Amino acid sequence: MADRVKAKQKGLGATDVVMLGYGSIIGAGLFVASGLAIQQAGPAVLIAFAIGAVALVGVLTGLAEMAAANPAPGGLRTFARESMGPWMGFTVGWLYWASGVATMSTEVTAAALLAHLWLPGTPLWALTLAFAVLVTAINFMDPRGFGKVEGVLSSVKVVALVGFIAIGVWALARGQGAGLQALRAVGFSPGALFPAGARGVGASLLMVMATYAGVQSVAMAAAETRDPARTVPRAIGVLTVSVILLYLGAFSVLILVLPWNQILMGASPFVQALSSLGLPGLQHVLNFVVLTAALSALNSSLFAISRMLRALAHDAEAPRILVRSSPTGNPTWAVAGSSAVLLVAILLSYLMPARAFQLVASASASTAMFSWIIIGLCHVRYRPILEREGKLVYRAGGFPLLTLASLAIMFLTLLSTPLNPGQVPGLVVAVTEFTLISLVYWLFMRRRQGEPGGGVRRVEFGEPVAGAGGGVGGGAGTGAGGEERVPTV
């Protein structure tokens, strides 16, 4: 009976996981923040995207290996705890959640601003609230329903990128590419291709990585997939190849269509590029696409961080009430709790609107780099454990060289962040988050975990939870005496 319930819960297939990955990676950061990276590096930003692609491959294949072997609730946090100890598990769990909240605040604010173009008489706070409620409602669906909605949202973004590449190639074939003409005029000189030199490439790395951020959500979804040992590696393989091709193709076309030094702040470079071609109506089409991208990234981020919050609650590292789930296994209380904090983050972003986007984007990207570094370190330490226990069902290619190269790129990204002074506050926020979360563990959690016969204790899956209330997921339902059980997901 338990196996049937578990199989029913795990409703995500390979396509769903791929679409969830698209939803997490392709967001407002790609369509808006990428302009900041191009302004820093010029055409050489393609080198930064290629460097980021190497790190992406290392991170995603490492996640595929670990998630296929251990599709546990909590994903990255579980890998960190088992390979590097409880401190790292606690820290990366809360760090991931904090990064997700920052990302969500960026996406929901962008969505409200985009919708305001069509509804100028509606207050921004009302649009923000509407989108937050909409995405929260979607996340209350069962996993299969969520996967279908996210599939639609993600498909719009992928089709838009493919369409942008096709239109750009068509325009270039007709000789309309102003960017290409500008480069030809100077004979593709090094000064034109590398206007800011290596310094510009380094300064652009953080914003480039921001466009790749969100890949961790794939590991969070592993516990809710059918046959994770096959589904997760297959999905991650498709996701890795397609994202790299889409990114390099889209940005190559962008730079050839629109001269890099004509890209303006505060608007999507993709919209500017298509507008330069003189095609009517594309502003509204692209506005719809970017709005969809923001909602999709918001949707996927809430899915991932609510699973992380429930995993923290399972180990009594977050309030126990967050363990409670719906009959289909949805972490309803964790979704509601994450959404509530999102409203506070949105309010804070409005207090400093002039700098909010770059601050939150750089903070999210910096925090993501900390998470990616931990993924790489976990992979290095987890591989021998999986081999020793005979659980290695999928081997990431290029190990350990690819993993080490990815780690080097991530450290380089953090070290080069000060080359763009506007990114420094975001880096400070990320470092502060990491430090405070670590201090909470060492000052409180570690001591409490060490108390004999009491204190913080891990809640095992399927174990009765006193006072958990009704509607616990996993199909476990109510035990003897009316006790509720932790969902087995």
| Domains in the chain: ranges and CATH | 2-443 (1.20.1740.10)
Query: How confident is the model at residue 373, as a pLDDT?
Result: 93
pLDDT of residue 386: 92
E strands, 70-201, in order: none
Token pair for residue 314?
């399972």
Q: What is the DSSP string of 291-339?
A: HHHHHHHHHHHHHHHHHHHHHHHHTTSS-GGGG---TTS--HHHHHHHH
HSE-CB for 9 with a 13 A CA cutoff: 26
pLDDT of residue 74: 65
> What does residue 225 show for φ and ψ, rounded to 5 degrees?
-105, 160
Q: What is the pLDDT of residue 147?
A: 65
Q: Assess contact for 267 and 33: CB atoms under 8 A.
A: no
> H or E element: which one contains 484?
strand 484-485
How long is the chain?
A: 489
> CB of 251 within 8 A of CB of 45?
yes
105 close to 460: Cβ distance less than 8 angstroms: no
For Cα atoms 65, 67, 70, give the angle at the middle one, nearest 5 degrees.
110
Reduced to 3 states (helix: H, G, I; strand: E, B; else coil), residue 225 is: strand
Residue 439's contacts (CB-CB under 8 Å, 6 or more residues apart) are none
| Rounded CA separation 399/417 (Å) | 28
What is the per-residue burial (b if ≥16 Cβ within 10 Å, else e) of 379-417?
A: bbbbbebbeeeeebebebeebeebbebbbebbeebbebb
- Residue listed under structure tokens 């690819």: 402
For the chain, how many helices (H) and strands (E)?
21, 2
pLDDT at 334: 92
Tokens of 213: 């951020």
Residue 407: its pLDDT value, please? 97
For 12, half-sphere exposure in the C-beta direction (CA atoms, 13 angstrom radius) is 34
DSSP assignment of 428-463: HHHHHHHHHHHHHIIIIIHHHHTSTTSSS----TT-
∠157-286-260 over CA atoms, to 5°? 100
In three-state secondary structure terms, 52 is helix
- Model pTM score: 0.81
Block means of pLDDT (10 residues each) for the chain, 489 residues, are: 43 80 79 86 95 94 90 80 89 87 79 79 81 86 66 81 92 91 88 93 93 77 81 90 93 94 80 82 80 82 85 86 83 89 68 68 86 92 92 92 96 95 90 93 76 39 36 33 33
pLDDT for res 349: 58
